[in-house]
Amino acid sequence: MSEEKKIKPNEILAGIDYNPPATGWMDTPVDFKKGTFCNSVPAKFMEYLGQPQPHEWKSYQDDWGLPDNWREIIFEGMRERLKKFRTFRVFMDICVRCGACADKCHFFIGSGDPKNMPVLRAELLRAVYKRDFTLAGKIMGRFVGARKLTVQGIKEWFYYFFQCTECRRCSVFCPYGIDTAEITMMGRELLNLLGLNIGWVTEPAANCFRTGNHLGIEPHAFKDSIEFACDDVFDNTGVKVEAPINRKGAEVLFVSPSADYFGTPHYYTLMGYLLLFHAVGLDYTWSAYASEGGNFGLFHSHDMMKRLNNKIYHEAKRLKVKYIIGGECGHMWRVLHQYMDTMNGPTDFLEVPVSHVTGTRFDHAASTKMIHISEFTADLIKHNKLKLDPSRNNHWNITFHDSCNPARAMGLLEEPRYIIKNVCNNFHEMPENTIREQTFCCGSGSGLGTEENMEMRLRGGLPRANAVKYVKEKHGVNCLACMCAIDKATLPPLLEYWVPGVEVAGVHEFVGNALNIEGQNERTVDLRGEPIKEQEEKKDA
Partner 1 sequence: MNFITSFLLTVGLFIVGYFGSRLPFVFGLVIPYTALTLFVLGLVCRMIAWARVPVPFRIPTTCGQQRSLSWIKSNNLESPFNLLGVVGRMFLEVFFFRSLFRNTKAELYDGTRLVYGSNKFLWVGAMAFHWSFLLIVLRHFRFFTEPVLPCVLWLQDLDGLFEIAVPAFYLTNFFIVAALGYLLARRLFNPQVRYISLGSDYFALFLILAIALTGIWMRYIDKVDVVKIKELVMSLVAFAPVVPDGIGWLFFVHLFFVCVLLAYFPFSKLLHMPGVFFSPTRNLANNNRAKRHINPWNPEVKCHTYEEWEDEFRDTLKRIGLPLDKAE
Quickly count: other Cβ atoms within 10 Å of residue 248's Cβ. 10
For residue 372, the minimal CB distance to partner 1 (Å) is 8
Cβ-Cβ contacts under 8 Å for 313 (sequence gap 6 or more): 340, 344, 345, 347
Q: Which of 342, 391, 516, 524 binds partner 1 (CB under 8 A)?
A: 342
Q: Which of 365, 477, 499, 515 binds partner 1 (CB under 8 A)?
A: 365
Quickly count: other Cβ atoms within 10 Å of residue 135's Cβ. 8
d(CA 444, CA 283): 35
d(CA 532, CA 526): 6
188-217: which residues touch partner 1 (CB under 8 A)?
Answer: 209-212
Q: Tell me: does residue 345 bind partner 1 (CB under 8 A).
A: yes
18-57: which residues touch partner 1 (CB under 8 A)?
Answer: 18-20, 24-25, 50
Q: Which of 54, 55, 263, 367 binds partner 1 (CB under 8 A)?
A: 367
**DSSP E strand boundaries for 347-467:** 370-372, 398-401
Q: Tell me: does residue 462 bind partner 1 (CB under 8 A).
A: yes
222-251: which residues touch partner 1 (CB under 8 A)?
Answer: 223, 245-248
Contact 186, 166 (CB under 8 A): no
For residue 308, the minimal CB distance to partner 1 (Å) is 9
Q: Tell me: does residue 310 bind partner 1 (CB under 8 A).
A: yes
d(CA 329, CA 258): 10
The DSSP secondary-structure symbol of 39 reads P
d(CA 427, CA 480): 10
Q: Which amino acid is at 248?
A: K
Closest CA to 257 of 186, 308, 203, 183: 308
Bridge partners of residue 487, in order along the sequence:
none
Q: Which of 230, 288, 491, 515 binds partner 1 (CB under 8 A)?
A: 288
Closest CA to 251 of 357, 340, 343: 357
Q: Tell me: does residue 82 bind partner 1 (CB under 8 A).
A: yes
Q: Which of 90, 356, 421, 503 binds partner 1 (CB under 8 A)?
A: 90
Contact 187, 88 (CB under 8 A): no
Sign of CA dihedral 234, 236, 238, 241: negative
Q: Which of 58, 140, 529, 534 binds partner 1 (CB under 8 A)?
A: 140
Rg of the chain on CA atoms, in Å: 23
Number of residues that bind partner 1 (CB under 8 A): 118
Q: Tell me: does residue 466 bind partner 1 (CB under 8 A).
A: yes
For residue 136, the minimal CB distance to partner 1 (Å) is 4
Q: Tell me: does residue 385 bind partner 1 (CB under 8 A).
A: no
Q: Tell me: does residue 145 bind partner 1 (CB under 8 A).
A: yes
Q: Tell me: does residue 400 bind partner 1 (CB under 8 A).
A: no
Among the candidate windows 36-44, 187-195, 375-383, 525-533, which touches partner 1 by CB under 8 A? 375-383
Question: Nearer to partner 1 by C-beta: 71 or 457?
Answer: 457
For residue 184, the minimal CB distance to partner 1 (Å) is 13
Q: Tell me: does residue 179 bind partner 1 (CB under 8 A).
A: yes
For residue 151, the minimal CB distance to partner 1 (Å) is 24
